Amino acid sequence: MANSTTQKIALVTGANKGIGLETARQLHSKGITVILGSRDLARGQAAAKSIGGGEGLRVIKLDVSSEADRNSAVAYIETEFGRLDILVNNAGVLLDGRSGNATSATPLSILRETFEVNFFAVVDLTQKLLPLIRKSSTGRIVNLSSILASLTLHATPGSPIYDAKTFAYDASKAALNSFTIHLAHELRGTKIKVNSAHPGWVKTEMGGEGAQLEIEDGARTSVELATLPDNGPTGAYLHMGEPLPW
């Protein structure tokens, strides 16, 4: 077991590109051992090399929609480290079209696939890793949400997202926010903090054309929540330290 009592251990899902890779990079720069979860092992290994490689970076095959991969990830972390200090649930999909509000025509297959990755996989992986996170003196769980999860803003005419309706994605992230609130409440008497992060509109494949933030800035909220001090928030929905309405 490659266990250190001082160096923090982090798992970042969807870490082979975009915000996930940048989150891994920034956490690694803070001296944290980072496990990069990647659907494709070779791409994950290439991502780790782009950060610099070395003992402080590990790569595992983790397609979050695969129960076998989720179980393997838990077994690997338990064998190698015996605990987990930081879990960043970064992996996600946006399968809705970008042609305006098509809620009434959204296929159930798109809803099911979206929820499988963005919600059910996150819940299952987190539940299975929780015994290892409980062994940390400063457990941190970060659920990568989106401003598009805000029911308040979606229902408010004139809000920044009032006309941005991608039903399957938005609903899955709203469900993820609910998981954040419920799990944070359950763990409120522990040292574990659970928060939802809105990265901003970031220049990634998912962000698309017109995105405003560089990837370095898009990872900031996840990294801040992953490294919160003991007096930091829990059960919050934040972007760069500022709360968003649920």
Please say whether the beta carbons of 193 and 139 come within 8 A: yes
Sheet-wide strand order for 140-144? 57-61, 33-38, 9-12, 86-89, 140-144, 193-197, 237-239, 242-243
| CA terminus-to-terminus distance, the chain | 41
Look at the block and give the residue holding tokens 């809803």: 111
Strands 9-12 and 33-38: parallel
Please say whether the beta carbons of 12 and 34 come within 8 A: yes
Catalogue the active-site residues.
169
- Residue among 79, 69, 56 nearest 132 (CA): 79
Question: What is the spatial distance between Cα 192 and Cα 186, in angstroms, rounded to a whole number?
Answer: 10
